[in-house]
Amino acid sequence: MTYRVAVAVSGRGSNLLALVDALATDPVAEVVLVLSDRAASAIPLAESRGIPTHQLRDHRDGGEWRDQLDSYGIDLLVLAGYLKLVPPEVVKAMSGRIINIHPALLPGYGGPGMYGHRVHQAVLAAGERTSGASVHLVDEVYDRGEILAQSAVPVISGDTPATLAARVLETEHKLLPLVVKAAAKAGRPVATMVDKLD
């Protein structure tokens, strides 16, 4: 039986599309639902791929989440640019089965308010020579669950938050499908070695 994945989004949806495309050629899992907390541009993208979508009436309402996740028989919930906290009752019900992608090497540069260009701004301000992407398990605290996989990218002299974000995003688009496929094969999210992303 296919491993059934829901993706939660708040914005653009490029990681969602990268995941859907990667699973099209290696269908060990299927994105069967996209949830959002707002009118995200990811929603029409998902619809154009024929994926059912649901804009949450109240993103704090755990019951609404659970109704959706239960009715689609979701095995794994992926947060891909989802900016709100997942309600604690959902984290509990889906314990160990929610992952998030973050555009930095956690545990650095994560936590409340660390999203979008603020992350890359902070990495540059600290003079880091390396950044990257992390996929981690989600618990009740922003960006603090077990790290499952990371991939590093260089910070290049003259980088702006925008150029660094673009380089990190490229690696995110490879890292997330890798972790989702590993989860599908293992039946749950697992720590995944990243040798080389191509």
Active site positions, annotated: 102
Neighbouring CB atoms inside 10 A of 196's CB total 6
Pick the stretch among 13-21, 31-39, 44-52, 154-162 that binds ligand GRF (CB under 6 A). Answer: 13-21
Is residue 134 part of the contact set for ligand GRF (CB under 6 A)? no
Pick the stretch among 9-17, 55-63, 65-73, 155-163 that binds ligand GRF (CB under 6 A). Answer: 9-17
Q: Judge whether 41 and 17 are in contact, CB under 8 Å.
A: no
Q: Judge whether 180 and 138 are in contact, CB under 8 Å.
A: no
User: Going edge to edge, which strands form the sheet with 147-154?
Assistant: 53-55, 29-36, 3-9, 76-79, 98-102, 130-137, 147-154
Is residue 97 part of the contact set for ligand GRF (CB under 6 A)? no
Q: How far is the CB of 63 from ligand GRF (least distance, A)?
A: 25
C-beta of 1 vs 160, nearer to ligand GRF: 160
The residues that touch ligand GRF, with contacts defined as CB under 6 A, are 9, 11-15, 42, 80-81, 101-103, 169, 172
